[in-house]
Structure formats: C-alpha cells, structure tokens
C-alpha cells in the first residue's frame, strides 16, 4: 500500500523530468500522452491505495513511510515522509482523478500551440507538487509542496510569455502567495521552537502543551494566513481573477479544482492545531462567509466568462472555509470534491466555447451559442446547476449539509447560515446570468462571423470525452453521500477529522428546502432579466461602480502598498542614493584623479630630474643615518 | 714607498664624483652625460683602490677591476644608444627626450 502511494506521488515527477530531458526527441503530442499517462498511473495507484486502506480496520488506517532523513539539524530532524490515511487518500483520488481528466483535455486544447512540451512538463510537475502537498507526513514537506504548487501556478499563469498581462498576473499570484507562505513559515518556526518537531503525529500530540493561548493563536493565525493566500480568500484574493490569464485547463486544474482548495485541506489536516485556537477557526469561518458574499456580488458584473467562473471559485471556497471554520470537516472535504468536479467541468466547457470563438472571452460578444454548440451547452448547464446546488446535481449534496451544520454552531453559526443562504441566491443568479448571456437568445453578429465549429478531429475528441466524463461526475458525484441518510465519506474521514458539529435531520431539511428555493429564485431572476428581458438590469450607479471595481481591493492595495513603496523608493533615490551613495563614490573618484594629476607632475620625463631625485634621496638618507649614529 | 695619505685619495675621489654628478645633472648632450657617468664610476674606483691600499687588502682592487668591466659594457650600450639616436635624426639633447612625461 505504501509502495502504491509512492508510485502515485512519483509518477508525474518522472513524466516531468522525462519531458524536460527528452527535449525534441519527444514529439509534442507524445509529451501530452506521457503527462496524461503518468497522471493516470497516479490515479490507478491512488485507487489501489484506497481499496487496500478500506480493507483495514478503522483504527489502523494511518501509515507513515519515510524514505530518508531529509534535513537534520541537531535534535530537529525532518524525514522525506509520506502519510497515508483517509484524508490524504481522499485528496490523492481527487487530485489525480480530476488532474487526469484535465491533462487529457489539454492534449486537445493545447494542440498546435507553441511549446506544448513545456506546458505538459509544468502540468506534470504541478500534479506531483499537489500530491506531495496532500501526502506529506510532515509540516515542512507540506510547506515544500505548498511552495512548489505556487511555483507551478506562477509558471503556468505566465505560460504565454509574450503577453505582458499574463506575466504581470503570474507575478501578482506569486507575490500574494508569498505573503501566505511567509506567515506559514513563521508559524512553523514557532512550532519548531516550542515542540522541536514538525511531524504531524508528534505536533498533534503535543500542541496543547506548546505554550500560552497567545502562542497557540499565533501559530494558528500564521497557518490560516497561508490558507487564505493559497485559497484566494479575502483579503489575499486579488490574484485569482487575474490568474485567468493562464490557459483554460490551467485555470481548471490549478485555480479551481486542486491548488486553491489546498487551504481547506490544510485546515482540515491540521484541525488539532486549530482546535487549540478556536478563535482562529471562527475567524476562518467569518473570512469564508465574507468571501462568498463579496465574490458572489462581484461575479454579477464580470464580463469575462473565465472571470465569472473564477469569482464563483472564490465564493465556493468561501463555503468550504465556512464549513472548515465551524469544524464540519467532512462536509467541507465533500464540497471540495464535488466542487472539483463541477468547477473543472465549467472551466473546460468554457474552454470549448473560447476555442470555438478563436480566443474570445468577452461574454458581451457572445450569445445564442446554445443552438450552435448544443453538447457544450448541456455540459455547461450541468455545471451551472451543480454550482447552484439544484437537486439532484452534486453541489446540492455537499453544500446544503455544510450549511445545515452551521445551525448547530450557535448564534454565530446561524449568522453564517444566513450569509450562506444569501450566497446560494447569488450563486444561482450569476451562474445563470452567464448561461443565458452566452448560450441563450439568437446568435450574436460576432458569433455568426467567428464561430469555428469543432470538428471530429483528434484534438476535439480529447476535449469532448473529458468534458463528458466530468459532466457525469458533476451530476452523479454527489450521490456518494446524502446526509443524514447515507454518509460514507463522513465515516471514512472521521478518524482524521472528527466533525465538531452535526446537523439534525430537521435542520438538513429546512436548509435544503430554503437553499434550493433561493437557488431556483436566483435562476428565475436571471431568466427574467437576461433571457426573457422582462426587466432592465438594475442600475444603481454607486453599487455598479463598487462591483465593477471589485470592492476597490486592487485600488486599496495600490494606495496602501504600491504607491508608498514607489514614493519611498523615489525619495530614497533622490535624497539617499543621489547625494550620499553615488555622491560619495563620485567624490572619491574625483579625489583620486586629483591626487594622480598632482603626482604626475613629478614625472617630468627629464632624465636629470630623476637622477637628481635618486642622488638627492641617497644623500639625504646618508645624512639621516649619519645623524642617527652621531 | 708610503706616498700620500689615504685622505688625499678620498678627497680627490670626492671631487671627481661631484664633477661627474654635476655633469650628469647639468649637461644636455647625452655623450657628455655618459662621459660624466664614467668619471663618477672611476672616482668610486679611486676610492676603492685608495682604501684597499690603506687597509692592505687587495680585495678592493679586484673590485675595481670588476667595476671597470661593468663600466666598459655599460659604455657600449650607452654609446650604441647615442648612435641609434643620431641615426634616427633625434636631436642629441636629453631635455628633449621627454616622451615619458606623466
């Protein structure tokens, strides 16, 4: 079982190395096949690991395997170790499963683009990094995987190296993530200082004795900072919409299905640490609630099809944070899984639309695609229904129990429950606004002119079957668990992440009815405004401004961080660099030149002067020595 | 055969040396400069021989012979330079040979 887990981890790394070293000896298409195959191997290995784990009794389902001691500093040692337990296997299945479908889709999507090999090498490297993140048995290895996925995200957002926008977006993502990485590293330093180890088991066992409440809160806050940055939650969220400059499969894999959910995984994985600092958990839930609301509102006015989906990702991860923060861990993980299915589906279907319109992403130019691309329309509709949590699509089974659990968490939980319900209305509204604008009505002039219908070629088929598979998963993937009647996932994850709250059947029922009703209402309003056009889009100048500027977060960071930094740099340039540093260097060089000029006067070129100097010097020395002797 | 006292030799040597040194420093013709150099060298020789006799040690005389050999070869190089200068139509004036001026 340990062997299959290692195969699962290392197979994509092998593919990345092979594609990189193979260079032009591997054709572009072979590179795609190789990357896809390696992730498929990972998925099969994860499946085998999963079934072997199921054979064991519940208490024994936790295995650590250490390859070698990776870092040793005095008493502090870190082994290159992986942990196989229900939570990591769950994530392995999601990452490698969805990853396999998306990498396979890329074979079609990236066909004939420049530097396909580089793309597939990065993708394989990303899958490896993500698996390292979820399989690590040690907080330091977790941080390593954390940094590596950030690197791959940076490389893939900036994949299109010739577009300055893409490069700027890549840098933004990297820097925002670096903030989170830094707070996380600080938390790890505190843990090392207090406990002398970063191994999960030892940390969880010793966390209660690690220090005062302040220390525990600081540790949890640092870790939460990392989760917030990686999962694009407020206030470190501004990089995610910009990250849509990367290729669409990258958005699907990294910025929807896997990497951005790493923050949720981390909170669930480290739940004993967070349990020691309950205030931080409440903060996480609050951040999630605010994010889901803000992202849902901003998504209402976005015009770029990928950005709408990006904001919906933020919003859905907000739900997961809400759930994880209120300690209903299995529900958060379950929503993570269904979200991976339907969000990947939405992105990949949007990718087909973008492909068909030769790269156009502006929804205002689209319209009437439902008739022209019927299968894509169905796929997108399935994704949107799952996103809006309409039964019987997968989102319904994961989001509603998550919200219902909030009712068990006191007044604060009830408040978040209300926010979550408002969020369901917004979700349905923006999702179906997108559906109606893009697919509804008559084909727009732009569409008539530019539509490039995908034929039955090889690349188009790769894109079609993967989207089909994801549509099936997004429809039926939620049926695995239907709380409170049938909860295998909760039982599976319980040994690692015991939920602190649980909804009663009545609460589940009330939430489901209300959430489904609000979602249906959202769809209805979207239909009323954007399809039937019975009402104008409400215009309220202040609100519109606020939403179109995304609540002024970018402007705020610009004013608080960027401008003062530039101002300070300019001032330092003018008052320090100019007069002091380059001034002193200039003075020193001038002085040296001046002394040289004076000294060169002595070099007359006249033999007699030299002879006189020699003779005079000798005579002087003689006199000195004589005088000294007397 | 006592002859004059050693101080006379040293005084003569000093006068010759000063003459030579002044010649090197003041004269402008390289030929004369070389000549003055020879006078300086030979004044040193005179002093060496004078002291050698005074101390009854012949090593000083051998030393003087060695100085003469060195002086001869030096004159060969120096005169060769003067001839070369003359051949290339460079004025025979050490003050005008100041290309090494800093």
The pLDDT > 90 percentage for chain A reads 35
pLDDT confidence tier of residue B11, bands split at 50, 70 and 90: very high
Do residues A517 and A425 touch, judged by C-beta distance below 8 A?
no
| Chain B residues with CB-CB distance to A602 below 8 A | 102
Give residue A24's pLDDT. 83
Window from A129-138, A428-437, A442-451, B45-54 with minimum mean pLDDT: A442-451
Residue A547 has pLDDT above 70, yes or no: yes
Through-space distance between the first and last CA atoms of chain B, rounded to whole angstroms: 57
- Using alpha carbons, select from A108, A90, A100, A80 the residue that is nearest to residue A36: A100
Residues of chain A positioned with their CB less than 8 A from the CB of B33: 607
Decide if A603 and B100 are in contact by the 8 Å CB cutoff: yes
CA distance B100 to chain A (A): 5
Cβ-Cβ contacts under 8 Å, A607 against chain B: 33, 94, 97
Return the residue in B27, B37, B92, B98 with the most chain A beta carbons within 10 A, the one to mutate for interface testing.
Answer: B98
Cα distances from A482 to residues A339, A400, A402, in angstroms, run 16, 10, 12
Nearest CB to B94 within list A600, A608, A612: A608
Q: How confident is the model at residue A449 (pLDDT cuts 50, 70, 90)?
A: confident
Per-residue pLDDT of A218-257, as tens digits, reads 989 999 999 999 998 988 888 888 888 888 899 889 888 8
What residues in A contact B99, CB-CB < 8 Å? 605
Work out the average pLDDT over A188-216: 85
Judged by a CB distance cut-off of 8 A, whether residue B100 touches chain A is yes
A605 to B99: CB separation less than 8 angstroms, yes or no: yes
- How far is A516 from A399, CA to CA, in rounded Å? 11
Question: Confidence class of residue A152 from pLDDT cuts 50, 70 and 90?
Answer: very high
| Burial of A24: CB neighbours in 10 Å, binned 0-12, 13-18, 19+ | exposed
Looking at the complex, does the CB of residue A615 fall below 8 Å from at least one CB of chain B? Answer: yes
Burial class, A389, CB count within 10 angstroms (exposed 0-12 / middle 13-18 / buried 19+): buried
State percent of chain A over pLDDT 70: 100
Ramachandran bin of B11, using left for φ above 0, alpha for ψ from -120 to 50, beta for the remaining angles = alpha
CB A249 within 8 A of CB A459: no
B21: chain A residues, CB-CB within 8 Å: 615
* Predicted local distance difference test score (pLDDT) of residue B16: 95
Residue B101 has its nearest CB partner, among A605, A608, A615, at A605
Q: State which residue of chain B sits closest to A602, comparing Cα positions.
A: B102
- Length of chain A counted residue by residue: 630
Alpha carbon A399 to its chain's center: 21
Decide if A606 and B98 are in contact by the 8 Å CB cutoff: yes
List the single residue in A599, A602, A606 with the smallest CB-CB distance to B95.
Answer: A606
Residue B91's pLDDT is 82
CA–chain centroid gap for A416, Å, is 24
- Whether B85 contacts chain A with CB within 8 A: no
Is pLDDT above 70 for B1? no
B33 shares contact with chain A (CB less than 8 Å): yes
Taking an 8 Å cut-off on Cβ atoms, the answer to whether B101 and A608 are in contact is no
pLDDT over 90 (residue A41):
yes
Query: Rounded to an integer, what distance in angstroms lies between the CA atom of residue A20 and that of residue A358?
Result: 29
How far apart are the CA of A628 and the nearest CA of chain B, in angstroms?
A: 23
Mean pLDDT estimate for chain B: 88
CB–CB contact A606 B21 (8 Å): no
- In chain A, whose CA is at the least distance from the CA of B37? A611
**Is the CB of residue A598 less than 8 Å away from at least one CB of chain B?**
no
Residues 34-63 of B with CB under 8 A from A: none
- Structure confidence at residue A291 (pLDDT): 92
Closest partner CB to B101 (pick from A604, A611, A612) = A604
Q: How far is B1 from chain A (nearest CA, A)?
A: 34
**C-beta atoms of A602 and B102 within 8 A:** yes
Residues with Cβ within 8 Å of B84's Cβ and at least 6 positions away in sequence, in order, are: none
Q: Which of A333, A445, A320, A470 is nearest to A393 (CA)?
A: A470
Using the Cβ of A628 and the Cβ atoms of chain B, whether some distance falls under 8 Å is answered with no
- Residue A601 at interface with chain B, using a CB cutoff of 8 Å: yes
Q: Do A603 and B101 touch (CB under 8 A)?
A: yes
Whether chain A has a CB inside 8 Å of the CB on B24: the answer is yes
Closest chain B CA to residue A613: B25
Structure tokens at A563: 């401008």
State whether B102 and A600 contact (CB < 8 Å): yes
Q: For residue A405, what pLDDT is reported?
A: 87
Mutate to test the interface with B, among A605, A609, A610, A615 (most CBs of B within 10 A): A605
By C-alpha distance, which of A397, A379, A375, A384 is closest to A430?
A384
Q: From the candidates A606, A610, A615, A619, which should be mutated to test the interface with B, based on the most B CB atoms within 10 A?
A: A606
Tokens of A278: 């309950």
* DSSP string covering A127-138: HHHHHHHHHBSB
Helix, strand, coil percentages (3-state) for chain B, rounded to 5, are 75, 0, 25
- Domain locations along chain B: 6-87
For position A101, what pLDDT does the model report?
Answer: 93
Q: Does B81 touch chain A (CB under 8 A)?
A: no
| pLDDT tens sequence across A574-592 | 888 888 888 899 999 999 9
Average pLDDT value for residue range A8-36: 89
Q: Evaluate if residue A213 carries a pLDDT over 90.
A: no
CB of A212 within 8 Å of a chain B CB? The answer is no
- B32 has a chain A CB within 8 A of its CB: no
Q: Residue B2 has which token pair?
A: 């006592």
Q: Do B26 and A608 touch (CB under 8 A)?
A: yes
Q: Measuring CA to CA, how many Å separate A399 from each of A245, A322, A338, A396?
A: 29, 11, 9, 6
Interface A–B counts its CB contacts (< 8 A) at 33
Averaged over A522-532, what is the pLDDT?
86
pLDDT digits (tens, 9 = 90+) for A161-183: 888 999 999 999 999 999 999 99
Mean pLDDT of A138-150: 91
C-alpha–C-alpha distance, residues A416 and A295, integer Å? 15
B16 touches chain A (CB under 8 A): no
Is the CB of A605 less than 8 angstroms away from the CB of B100?
A: yes
pLDDT band for position A408 (50/70/90)?
Answer: confident
Predicted confidence at residue A60, as pLDDT, reads 78
Which chain A residues touch B96 with a CB distance below 8 Å?
A: none
A165 touches chain B (CB under 8 A): no
Query: Phi/psi of residue A82, each to 5°?
Result: -120, 155
Query: What is the pLDDT at residue A611?
Result: 84
CATH of domain B6-87: 1.10.287.3510
Confidence label for B42 from pLDDT (cuts 50, 70 and 90): very high
pLDDT at A15: 93
Give the closest-approach CA distance of B3 to chain A in angstroms: 30
Average pLDDT over residues A395-410: 86
Q: What pLDDT score does A567 carry?
A: 94
- Let me know: does B16 contact B39? Beta carbons within 8 Å: yes
**HSE of A283, CA atoms in CB hemisphere, 13 A:** 19
Which tens digit of pLDDT belongs to each residue from A50-86?
Answer: 998 888 887 778 888 888 888 887 778 888 888 888 8
Q: Where are the beta strands (DSSP E) in A37-120?
A: 63-73, 76-84
The whole-chain average pLDDT of chain A stands at 88
* Residue contact B21–A600, C-beta within 8 A: no
Pairwise pLDDT comparison (A153 vs A75), residue with the higher score:
A153
On chain B, the residues whose CB falls within 8 A of the CB of A608 are: 24-26, 94-95
What is the pLDDT averaged over residues A614-621?
91
A59, A38 Cβ separation under 8 angstroms: no
- pLDDT band at B102, cuts 50/70/90? low
- Residue A432 and residue A522 in contact, taking contact as beta carbons nearer than 8 Å: yes
**Where is pLDDT greater, at A436 or A112?**
A436
Are A305 and A353 spatial neighbours (Cβ–Cβ below 8 Å)? Answer: yes
Chain A residues touching residue B97 (CB < 8 angstroms): 605, 607
A608 close to B (CB below 8 A): yes
Pairing relationship of beta strands A76-84 and A63-73 according to DSSP bridges:
antiparallel
């Amino acid at each position: 079982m340990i062997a299959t887990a290692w195969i699962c981890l290392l197979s994509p790394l092998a593919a990345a190395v092979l594609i990189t070293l193979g260079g032009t000896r591997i054709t572009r298409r072979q590179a795609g096949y190789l990357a896809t195959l390696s992730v498929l191997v990972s998925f099969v290995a994860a499946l085998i690991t999963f079934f072997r784990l199921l054979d064991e009794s519940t208490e024994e389902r936790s295995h650590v395997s250490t390859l070698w001691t990776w870092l040793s500093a005095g008493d502090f040692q870190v082994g290159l170790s992986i942990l196989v337990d229900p939570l990591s296997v769950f994530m392995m299945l999601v990452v490698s499963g969805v990853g396999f479908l998306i990498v396979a889709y890329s074979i079609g999507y990236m066909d004939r683009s420049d530097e396909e090999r580089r793309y597939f090498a990065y993708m394989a490297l990303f899958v490896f990094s993500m698996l390292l993140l979820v399989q690590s048995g040690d907080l330091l290895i977790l941080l390593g995987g954390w940094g590596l996925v950030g690197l791959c995200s940076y490389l893939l957002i900036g994949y299109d190296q010739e577009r300055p926008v893409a490069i700027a977006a890549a840098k933004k993502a990297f820097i925002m993530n670096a903030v989170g990485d830094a707070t996380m590293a600080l938390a790890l330093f505190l843990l090392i200082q207090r406990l002398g180890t970063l191994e999960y088991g030892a940390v969880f066992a010793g966390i209660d004795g690690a220090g005062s409440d302040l220390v525990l809160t600081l540790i949890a806050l640092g870790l939460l900072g990392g989760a917030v940055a990686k999962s694009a939650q407020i206030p470190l969220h501004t990089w995610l919409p910009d990250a849509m400059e990367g290729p669409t499969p990258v958005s699907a894999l990294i910025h929807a299905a896997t990497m951005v959910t790493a923050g949720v995984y981390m909170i669930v994985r480290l739940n004993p640490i967070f349990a020691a600092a309950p205030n931080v958990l409440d903060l996480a839930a609050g951040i999630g609630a605010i994010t889901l609301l803000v992202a849902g509102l901003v998504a209402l006015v976005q015009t770029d099809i990928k950005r709408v989906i990006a904001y919906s990702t933020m919003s859905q991860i907000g739900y997961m944070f809400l759930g994880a923060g209120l300690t209903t861990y299995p529900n958060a993980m379950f929503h993570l899984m269904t979200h991976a299915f339907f969000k990947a589906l939405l992105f990949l279907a949007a990718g087909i639309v973008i492909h068909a319109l030769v790269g156009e992403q502006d929804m205002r130019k689209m319209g009437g695609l439902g008739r022209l691309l019927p299968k894509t329309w169905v796929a997108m509709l399935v994704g949107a229904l799952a996103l809006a949590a309409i039964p019987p699509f997968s989102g319904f089974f994961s989001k509603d129990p998550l919200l219902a659990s909030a009712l068990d968490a006191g007044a604060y939980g009830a408040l978040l429950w209300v926010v979550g319900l408002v969020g369901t209305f917004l979700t349905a509204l923006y999702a179906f606004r997108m559906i109606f604008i893009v697919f509804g009505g008559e084909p727009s002039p732009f569409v008539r002119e530019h539509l490039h219908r995908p034929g039955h070629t090889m690349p188009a088929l790769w894109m079609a079957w993967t989207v089909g598979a994801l549509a099936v998963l997004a429809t039926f993937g939620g049926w695995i668990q239907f709380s409170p009647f049938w909860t295998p996932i909760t039982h599976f994850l319980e040994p690692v992440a015991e939920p602190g709250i649980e909804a009663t059947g009545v609460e589940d029922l009330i939430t489901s009815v209300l959430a489904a009703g609000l979602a249906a209402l959202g769809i209805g309003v979207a239909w009323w405004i954007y399809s039937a056009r019975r009402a104008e889009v409400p215009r309220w100048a202040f609100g519109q401004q606020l939403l179109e500027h995304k609540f002024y977060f970018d402007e705020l960071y610009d004013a608080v961080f960027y401008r003062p930094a530039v101002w300070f740099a300019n001032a330092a340039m003018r008052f320090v660099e100019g007069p002091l540093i380059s001034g002193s260097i200039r003075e020193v060089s001038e002085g040296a030149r001046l002394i040289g000029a004076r000294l060169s006067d002595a070099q007359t070129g006249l033999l007699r002067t030299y002879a006189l100097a020699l003779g005079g010097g000798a005579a002087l020395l003689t006199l000195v020595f004589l005088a000294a002797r007397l | 055969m006592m002859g004059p006292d050693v101080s006379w030799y040293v005084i003569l040597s000093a006068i010759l040396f000063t003459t030579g040194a002044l010649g090197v420093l003041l004269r402008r013709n390289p030929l004369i400069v070389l000549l003055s150099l020879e006078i300086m060298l030979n004044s040193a020789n005179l002093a060496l021989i004078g002291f050698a006799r005074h101390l009854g040690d012949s090593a000083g005389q051998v030393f003087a012979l060695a100085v003469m050999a060195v002086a001869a070869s030096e004159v060969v190089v120096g005169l060769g330079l003067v001839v070369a200068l003359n051949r290339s139509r460079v004025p025979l004036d050490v003050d005008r040979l100041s290309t090494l001026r800093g």
